[in-house]
Each structure stands twice: as structure tokens, then as C-alpha cells.
Amino acid sequence: MNDLNQRLTTLADEMADTDYAALRQRVDTTARRLGYRRAAITSVAALALAGVAAVGGVQMLPQSNQAPQPGGSATTTAPPTPSTSAPATPPSPPATQARPPAATTPDHVPGRLVYVRVGAEIEVITVTDGVTKTTSFGARVLGDRLATVSPDGTMVALVHPTKDLTEYPGDLVVVRPGGARKVVARDVAWGGGVAPVWTPDSRRLLVSITEMRDGAAGAPRIGYVDATSGGFTGQDLYKDFPHYLTWSANGSFRAHAEDRTIMVARADGTVVRRFSVAGQPECDRECPYAVQSISDDGRYVATAIGNTDPTRVIGATIVLDTTNGRRVAIATSVTGIREIFFRADNSLVVQTDDKLRLVTLDGKVTATLDRPHPTNQANLDRYTDR
């Protein structure tokens, strides 16, 4: 008891000397520090509990490849709704793995080839995408010349001279399938580069009419003859008949020869280019001014050497670029060329005696095909793939 009284007395003496203001400040500071620590610990604990709850929730979801576990309660939990988003697109294979389709060689010339054969009868043979059709235009009449097929393939125009001399003009005859013939114009000039020329619409022919009086030729009249009615319409475009006049397959351009110069014009007759062929090696004999075909854009022409006799040149052997007069190379392996026509992309259809070849403008042969047997002894008069 005495010890307790003594300790209490000592404590009372110590407290009498205590600075209560400083003590309160220390207590308050310590309390605030403990409050901050408690709040931090509480936040960390809350985050930890949330993570545990999430993991536990995932583990409680049923797996798609597991059977549901039996439970003691009748309450069921709906499975999560499957996502409707599209499955991830698989990565594209490297570009080096892609293989282009194997190139195929055509077994026929695309488009339509039109041949005309004049023997005992007049026949038109069309080869359309490899399918051959022969149409008879009746028996040939002795003296028939310069047979040419209309662009639509339904008529053949020819000249039947009154005398077998080019100084004497002849009758212009239009023949239809089966052999029906009609004279649509008389005194039509013919020979060499002069011959009736179909318009692209197959309705008319450009002709030069020269009337003979007492054995002398009168002034020529150049104009168009209607293929059905025979009506004549004059024109002011040509002062002289254009020699070896030819149209592009699409009807956009025309070309013809004037001596050693080739003229290229639009459909309305507007001249867009003229160039000389005098520098071509064939000019040692006769220059290649006999135009046979022209490309759709008017840039290229297929020609053959001209002539000084009355016989008309048919068929082409070379191709010239009208923008510079240069020759388009054709592989030297292609020999005996008879005719050349242009495709829509300016590549070539080249016919020899027994073959048809597709040739690019850089001279590469892309296909070699046998000439259809029914076209033997026939002239390739037209071609189009439009």
C-alpha cells in the first residue's frame, strides 16, 4: 500500500511538469498518421477482395466442354449469351504463295472472220468464235469481179464489167443469199485502187460513176449508192476517188492512198495524219501504199505493195505506225503472210496459207491455229471482235 502511495505521488509530481499543449499536438499528429494508414490499408483490402471475387466468378461459370454439375438447389443460372461478332479473319497468306492462273491458249480466233470465195458459185464463209457457217449467194456470172461482203455479212457487192477492160466501167450488182441479184448502179469505175467500198452501216457504197460517150469517159461523179434502192447521193469530201479506201471495224477511222502517201481521217473525213511510205524497202519495186485495214484508233494500218496494172491488190503483208511511219515487227517465223487485220486492242490477226496467228504489237505470237478447212481458196475479206 505504502509503495502504491509513493508511486502515485511521484506520478503526480511528473505530470505537474508536463507541457500539455505540446503533448496534445503530438497526440493529434499521431492520430492523423494512423488515420491515413488505416485508409490505405482499407483500400488495398477492398481491391484484393474484388479481384478474388472476379476470379471466383470466372471459375464458377460452366465450361462449354463440361457437363453441368449437379446441385442441391432447383435454381438454375442462365449461361452467358454467346458473342455475335464475326470470327477473326485468318491472316492472309504471304504474297509469294499466290499463284496466277495458268495461261491458256485459245483454240480459235476470237470474234468473226468473214471470207468470200468466188468459184462456180459465190460463197460467204463466216467463222464466229470457232463456229463455221457457209452461205451460198448463188452462181457466179461470167465476168463478176471485186466481190466484197457488207460489214453485216448479209450482202455481196461486185462489179460486172460491160467490157473486160478497166477503161470501160461496169454495173454495180448487189447479191443476196440464195443468189438474188440487183443492179444498183451503172458506169461504175473499177480496177487498181478504185472499187466500190461499203459504208460501216452496210447501207451504201461509195462509188465513182464515169459515163462513157462515144468511147470517151466523161467527168467522174463520186458519191454514195443506196444498196437497196440504188439511189445516188453526191458528196464533196473527195475530188478524186480515194484509192484503196478502207474503214476501221468500229467505223471511227478511214484510210486511203494518194500516190506514195497514206491518209488517215476520222469518220467525218477530217484528216488527222498523212505520212509517206517512200522510205520502205519495198519501194525498190513498188511502194506499200495499198491499204487493206486500219486499227480502231486510226494509229496502225496494214498494207501491201501497190501495182501499176489494173488488178486490185488484196491482202496485207506489213503493218505501219501512222504516227511515225515505222514498221511494226512481226516474228520472222511467220512467213507467207496473206492478210492482216486488227483486233480491238490493236493486236493482230495474221493469216498465212494454212495458219491463223494472234500476234501482239511487239511481234510476239501468242497463238497459232489451223486455218478452218472450209475457208480454203477463199479470201479473208473482213474481221471483227467488237
Q: What is the mean pLDDT of residues 66-84?
A: 42
pLDDT of 17 higher than 70:
no
- How does residue 144 score in pLDDT terms, banded at 50, 70 and 90? very high
- CB atoms under 10 Å from CB of 144, counted, come to 19
Given a cut of 60, is residue 341 above it in pLDDT?
yes
Examine the pLDDT at 80 and tell me if it is beyond 50: no
- pLDDT on residue 45: 43
Comparing 105 with 188, the larger pLDDT belongs to 188
Closest CA relative to residue 295, chosen from 274, 270, 277, 320: 320
pLDDT bracket for residue 232 (50, 70, 90): very high
Tens of pLDDT, residues 255-290: 999 989 999 999 999 999 999 999 999 999 899 999
Return the closest-CA partner of residue 159 out of 142, 148, 146. 146
Fill in the amino acid letter for 226. D
- Write out pLDDT tens, residues 129-140: 999 999 999 999
What nine digits make up the cell of 375?
Answer: 475457208
Check whether 111 has a pLDDT greater than 90. Answer: yes
Read off the pLDDT band of 374 (50, 70, 90). very high
Q: What is the pLDDT of residue 37?
A: 46
Total-model pTM:
0.72
Write the secondary structure of the chain as one string of H (helix), E (strand) and C (coil). Answer: CHHHHHHHHHHHHHHHCCCHHHHHHHHHHHHHHHHHHHHHHHHHHHHHHHHHHHHHHHHHCCCCCCCCCCCCCCCCCCCCCCCCCCCCCCCCCCHHHCCCCCCCCCCCCCCEEEEEEECCEEEEEEEECCEEEEEEEEECCCCCEEEEECCCCCCEEEEEECCCCCCCCEEEEEECCCCCEEEEEEEECCECCECCEECCCCCEEEEEECCEECCEECCCEEEEEECCCCCEEECCCCCCCCEEEEECCCCCEEEEEECCEEEEEECCCCEEEEEECCCCHHHHCCCCCEEEEECCCCCEEEEECCCCCCCCCCCCCEEEECCCCCECCCCCCCCCCCEEEECCCCCEEEECCCEEEEECCCCCEEEEEECCHHHCCCEEEEEECC
Q: Where are the domains of the chain?
A: 161-174+181-239
Report the mean per-residue pLDDT for the chain. 82
pLDDT recorded at residue 19: 52
Contact 214, 206 (CB under 8 A): no
Asked if 187 and 160 touch (Cβ cutoff 8 Å), the reply is no
Side-by-side strand order, sheet with 365-370: 339-342, 348-351, 355-359, 365-370
